[in-house]
Chain A
Amino acid sequence: MSTQTEPKKPLNEFEAGLDKADKAVASFAQDDKTLTHVLRKFLRDYPTTIPALVLIMSVLFFGAFANNFMTPGTLSLVLKQVTVTGIVAVAQTLIILTAGIDLSVGAILVLSSIIMGKLSVDLGLPPFLAISIGLFFGGLMGWFNGILVTVIKLPPFIVTLGTLSIFTALKLWYSASQSIRGSDIRETAPSLLFFGERISFGGFQITYGVVALLVLAGLVYYMLNHTAWGRHVMAIGDDPDAAMLSGIRINRTLVSVYAFAGLICAFGGWAAAGRVGSISPIGFDDVNLQSITAVVIGGTSLFGGRGSVIGSVLGAIIVGVFTTGLSLGGVDDYWQQFAAGCLVLVAVALDQWLRRATK
């Protein structure tokens, strides 16, 4: 049967010419130096540059063309207005990085803040305890989303569409569709309104909510870029199969992402109470879409795996600058929405252009 005579290392005939071939394996052709290529590479390496530039340009633009825009008062107002959207956008970024989407963020936010308010105002719990319980329930709602996404394996869009209705119903039931008045809160639990208080310097009035947003964004940035958990979140959004084969516990990580996002939303509920000064079961209905808008304008890809939380905060501020700037310029409400819509489309188009690595 065996008639083969084997040389020690048979070099197949068709490979004989290889000896003369270039032995370098992984050398790079010099990158194309045309302006578009250089620009694209730079933007791909530092994706937050785009929202940062857009923000600077829009601030300068409205500073030049809208009355009273470039004043400390207006700029502080913009920041104050984007506090809640910004905080929710941080949570939304985490979810979108895993290639998911969370439509229930607004409902979690409102329900958590109602829990905090009812417990402290109606039941007279110490504010610290009431807030902790509210945060816990926020995390629990997020965890529930995460379980549905991982264990039942439903698409995140469907899961959070369902829980959006469920949490909305629960918030109306628990609050009996009644607001908790600001005066009651101030009397019994003033620390619920902590994030509405402000620090003043030189005409600027920065609320603690804005500070909290920046600290939170910094914390999540650190978690995403300097901890293994952050790498895993990115990897799961990028390619779940590859992440699984690399030994990442996908379900565990995803559940932690959803739960953490819920916790952040509950925190946003606390900040929202301070921002508005009272707690209403029907407020913050549009924060879902606003948070997604902010994330997308901030350069995070809806396909997962790419993006940054800093970009999302910048995205939220950009929307705030546009709406405030346009209304100061005397532009009607619906044109403000129009502008926000255009921003989203431009942002997504840009993302697609960057992702096309060749040509």
Chain B
Amino acid sequence: MTNVQPILSARGLMKRYGQVVAMNGADFDLYPGEITAVIGDNGAGKSTLIKALSGAVVPDHGQIFLEGKEVHFKRPDDARNAGIETVYQNLALSPALSIADNMFLGREWRKPGLLGKVFRKMDHARMQDFARDKLNDLGLMTIQNINQAVETLSGGQRQGVAVARAAAFGSKVIILDEPTAALGVKESRRVLELIQDVRSRGIPIILISHNMPHVFELADRIHVHRLGQRLCVIDPKKHTMSDAVAYMTGAKEPDTELELA
């Protein structure tokens, strides 16, 4: 397993916000085709780590490698252009814009030929078809109208749109920050199925969650984050949920060999 090159990895990431140290030499590895869950207590620096990987935060020190090559993300669109899509906890959807507009926000398709080149006309029809197809693929197409404003959708539907957007464009890595936190039981189950569906297409996923049953159900590896660092990586098949919680809260120290897992 250790011979496989990680698709996305980070070494020694540091980030300070004034006096607060959010990341203190954090490492991270994501392997091809796997779901790596990141767990940690509140304030452990999970979000900052994820934001560094998705370009929303520029770390003060440290390196990030995508497929072995070092990358420097200055903005979220740098990471997006590199094939890393992120579903943020607040979803980053624009409420007044339509589903199709939201899926293509920041990467609109233009009409071919003169209309697109000179007059910069967007290709609404083609974008709508694509958005409809992608939502269909994920079984989300009970939404009748692709031009409906996102604010008219329920929480679960919005989550579905955000996941569909990531799945449609994330060619290398998809990052999901608390995808089920705001959802009911049934809707959570649907989103978990979506995640498995995305994984089955071979796209590796980083999953941040506080929900241990979901983490243990989905993840191939669990990255335990504590005090701004990677504490250890555990295999969900060999550890219990209470082990994980104990590591994460500092109630128990992991065995030293685990850190290499």
A-to-B contact residues, CB < 8 Å:
1-4, 6, 9-10, 12, 14-15, 18, 21-22, 24-28, 44, 222, 226-229, 231-232, 234-235, 238-239, 241-249, 305-306, 357
Q: Check: B239 CB closer than 8 A to any chain A CB.
A: yes
Find the residue from A18, A26, A247 having the highest chain B CB count within 10 A: A26
Find the residue from A15, A21, A249 having the highest chain B CB count within 10 A: A15
A74 to chain B, nearest CB (A): 38
Known: A1-B243, A245-B76, A246-B94. A18 touches B185 (CB 8 A): yes
Known: A25-B190, A226-B122, A228-B120. A305 touches B94 (CB 8 A): yes
B184 to chain A, nearest CB (A): 11
Bound-state Cα–Cα, A234 to B108, Å: 14
Bound-state Cα–Cα, A232 to B101, Å: 10
8 sample A-B contacts, Cβ–Cβ < 8 Å, listed by A number: A25-B140, A25-B190, A227-B122, A231-B97, A231-B101, A238-B95, A241-B90, A247-B106
Q: Check: B19 CB closer than 8 A to any chain A CB.
A: no
Bound-state Cα–Cα, A171 to B213, Å: 68
Residue of A228, A249, A306 near B77 (CB, 8 A) is: A249
A25 touches B139 (CB 8 A): yes
Residue of A10, A18, A27 near B186 (CB, 8 A) is: A18
- B70-103 Cβ-contact flags toward A at 8 Å (1 or 0): 0000011100100000101011111111000110
Residue of A1, A18, A229, A239 near B94 (CB, 8 A) is: A239
- Set of chain A residues within 8 Å of B146, measured between Cβ atoms: none
Q: Check: B237 CB closer than 8 A to any chain A CB.
A: yes
Q: Check: B56 CB closer than 8 A to any chain A CB.
A: yes
Besides the known contacts A15-B185, A26-B143, 5 further A-B residue pairs in the complex with CB atoms under 8 A apart:
A1-B238, A1-B239, A26-B157, A227-B119, A246-B102
Bound-state Cα–Cα, A24 to B190, Å: 10
- Set of chain B residues within 8 Å of A232, measured between Cβ atoms: 105-106
A26 touches B154 (CB 8 A): yes
A231 touches B122 (CB 8 A): yes
User: Which residue of chain A has its CB nearest to the CB of B81?
Assistant: A247
- Set of chain B residues within 8 Å of A44, measured between Cβ atoms: 149
B238 touches A12 (CB 8 A): no
User: Which residue of chain B has its CB nearest to the CB of A31?
Assistant: B152
- Set of chain B residues within 8 Å of A25, measured between Cβ atoms: 139-140, 142, 156-157, 160, 187, 190
Bound-state Cα–Cα, A181 to B139, Å: 70
Q: Check: B199 CB closer than 8 A to any chain A CB.
A: no
Chain B contact surface mostly: loop
B105 touches A9 (CB 8 A): no
Bound-state Cα–Cα, A177 to B133, Å: 64
Q: Check: B6 CB closer than 8 A to any chain A CB.
A: no
Q: Tell me the chain B residues, 129-144 only, with Cβ under 8 Å from chain A.
A: 139-144
Residue of A9, A228, A243, A305 near B122 (CB, 8 A) is: A228
A28 touches B142 (CB 8 A): yes
- Set of chain B residues within 8 Å of A15, measured between Cβ atoms: 185, 189
B106 touches A305 (CB 8 A): no
* Residues of B in contact, count (CB < 8 Å): 57
A238 touches B237 (CB 8 A): no
Chain A contact surface mostly: loop
B105 touches A243 (CB 8 A): yes
B186 touches A21 (CB 8 A): yes
Known: A28-B142, A234-B94, A357-B152. A10 touches B217 (CB 8 A): yes
B118 to chain A, nearest CB (A): 11
B238 touches A26 (CB 8 A): no
Bound-state Cα–Cα, A22 to B104, Å: 31
Q: Check: B210 CB closer than 8 A to any chain A CB.
A: no
- B153-171 Cβ-contact flags toward A at 8 Å (1 or 0): 1101100100000000000
- Set of chain B residues within 8 Å of A243, measured between Cβ atoms: 94, 105-106
Q: Check: B65 CB closer than 8 A to any chain A CB.
A: no
B47 to chain A, nearest CB (A): 12
A242 touches B93 (CB 8 A): yes
A247 touches B77 (CB 8 A): yes
Bound-state Cα–Cα, A241 to B144, Å: 28
Q: Check: B67 CB closer than 8 A to any chain A CB.
A: no
Bound-state Cα–Cα, A183 to B67, Å: 72
B140 touches A234 (CB 8 A): no
B92 touches A241 (CB 8 A): yes
Q: Check: B32 CB closer than 8 A to any chain A CB.
A: no
- Set of chain A residues within 8 Å of B92, measured between Cβ atoms: 241-242, 245-246
Q: Check: B240 CB closer than 8 A to any chain A CB.
A: yes
User: Which residue of chain B has its CB nearest to the CB of A306?
Assistant: B96
B105 touches A246 (CB 8 A): yes
Residue of B90, B124, B141 near A242 (CB, 8 A) is: B90
Known: A245-B88, A357-B151. A26 touches B94 (CB 8 A): no
Bound-state Cα–Cα, A10 to B240, Å: 13
- Set of chain B residues within 8 Å of A305, measured between Cβ atoms: 94-96
